[in-house]
Amino acid sequence: GDGEPLKVMISGAPASGKGTQCDLIVKKFGLVHISTGDLLRAEVAAGTDIGNKAKDFMTAGKLVPDEIVTAMVTARLSLQDAKEKGWLLDGYPRSYAQAQSLEEGNFRPDIYIVLEVPDEILIDRCVGRRMDPLTGKIYHMTNFPPETEEIKARLITRSDDTEEKAKSRLQIYKQNAEAVSSTYSSIMKKINGNHSKDVVFNEIDSLLSAVKKSKEEAAKIV
Ligand code: AP5
């Protein structure tokens, strides 16, 4: 066969461009995108039990308790499509305990990508970000403005995208970054995320293509 499907983890500070790059990765590699932020926002919007528990933490820019997020992610990773097509995990793990839960469940990535962007730029990206509730597309008022007046009129701002909350999210990210990456240091690839999105994607594309190829080669030997 073609070997085991690709398993990718993407990490980086708030607004480092994870969601933007994941859209491009999915288009090219067909992986199942599992974003804990998106899953949680959907639970909040639907008013589920998980959503009600998560809402206040998210609005405050704090981490949702591990047990809530971990149950949600491991359930999603266990579905057939993720096993068959491979997965792209975005926004998880965010703590040492979350990384350990994945290890225990035998969910191991082939590669751990970290997007690096300077702090001042991250805050500006958060404050300028808008989302299209209809298509899920991510915009930025100056970097990626909406294409039409109609789209512009329906864009929404995330409740955690104020300057103050962006700073708090960044601080929490920094507190946890090392504890999380220690689990994946042998497969970690740092990428400069402070370039245009196409330049960033080209780098990710070459890394993933190389991993994919080596998995296919390995499958031939077996
Ligand atoms: P989550 O949704 O994961 O938020 P985040 O990590 O803060 O990341 P963002 O979604 O803010 O940014 P991004 O890196 O995807 O950037 P984007 O592509 O949008 O989590 C939200 C909350 O959920 C957490 O705070 C927490 O409460 C909870 N949560 C989630 N996971 C959890 C977990 N595992 N445990 C506990 N709690 C959890 O880009 C940002 C902006 O920049 C956009 O406007 C975009 O257009 C622009 N942009 C992107 N790329 C470029 C570029 N190359 N050049 C210029 N502009 C760019």
Q: Is the CB of 51 under 6 A from ligand 1?
A: no
Ligand 1 centroid, distance to 97 Cα (angstroms): 21
| Cβ neighbour number for residue 144 with a 10 Å cutoff | 15
Token look-up 């499509």 returns 81
- Residue 86 pLDDT exceeds 90: yes
Q: Is the CB of 184 under 6 A from ligand 1?
A: no
Q: Is the CB of 138 under 6 A from ligand 1?
A: yes
**pLDDT at res. 11:** 98
> Mean pLDDT, to the nearest integer, of 176-204?
97
36-84 pLDDT, tens digit each: 999 999 999 999 999 999 999 999 999 999 999 999 999 999 999 999 9
Three-state secondary structure readout of the chain: CCCCCCEEEEEECCCCCHHHHHHHHHHHHCCEEEEHHHHHHHHHHHCCHHHHHHHHHHHCCCCCCHHHHHHHHHHHHCCHHHHHHCEEEECCCCCHHHHHHHHHCCCCCCEEEEEECCHHHHHHHHHHEEECCCCCCEEECCCECCCCHHHHHHCECCCCCCHHHHHHHHHHHHHHHHHHHHHHHHHEEEEECCCCHHHHHHHHHHHHHHHHHHHHHHHHHC
**pLDDT at res. 2:** 64
Q: What is the position in ligand 1's atom list of the atom closest to the CA of 12?
A: 14
> Mean pLDDT, to the nearest integer, of 18-27?
97
Q: Which residues contact 219 (CB under 8 A, 6 or more apart)?
A: 1, 2, 3, 4
The C-alpha atoms of residue 160 and residue 91 are separated, in whole angstroms, by 15
Q: Is the CB of 3 under 6 A from ligand 1?
A: no
Contact 184, 8 (CB under 8 A): no
- Count Cβ atoms within 10 A of the Cβ of residue 81 and give its class: 0-12 exposed, 13-18 middle, 19 or more buried: exposed
136-152 pLDDT, tens digit each: 999 999 999 999 999 99
Higher-pLDDT residue of 3, 140:
140
Domains of the chain (ranges; CATH) run: 7-203 (3.40.50.300)
Q: Is the CB of 137 under 6 A from ligand 1?
A: no
Q: What is the position in ligand 1's atom list of the atom closest to the CA of 57?
A: 27
Band the pLDDT of 180: cuts 50, 70, 90: very high
The residue whose CA has the least distance to atom 42 of ligand 1 is 125
116-127 pLDDT, tens digit each: 999 999 999 999
Q: Which two tokens stand for residue 4?
A: 């085991």
Residue count (the chain): 222
Q: Which one of 24, 129, 161 would you pick to mutate in the ligand 1 pocket, going by the greatest count of ligand atoms within 8 A of its CB? A: 129
Q: Is the CB of 197 under 6 A from ligand 1?
A: yes
Q: What integer best gives the mean pLDDT of the chain?
A: 96
Band the pLDDT of 176: cuts 50, 70, 90: very high
Band the pLDDT of 3: cuts 50, 70, 90: confident
> Mean pLDDT, to the nearest integer, of 21-35?
98
The residue whose CA has the least distance to atom 6 of ligand 1 is 14
Query: Burial letters for 185-214: b for 16+ Cβ neighbours within 10 Å, e otherwise?
Result: eeeeeebebeeeeeebbebbbeebeebbee
Q: Which one of 95, 138, 194, 203 would you pick to mutate in the ligand 1 pocket, going by the greatest count of ligand atoms within 8 A of its CB? A: 138
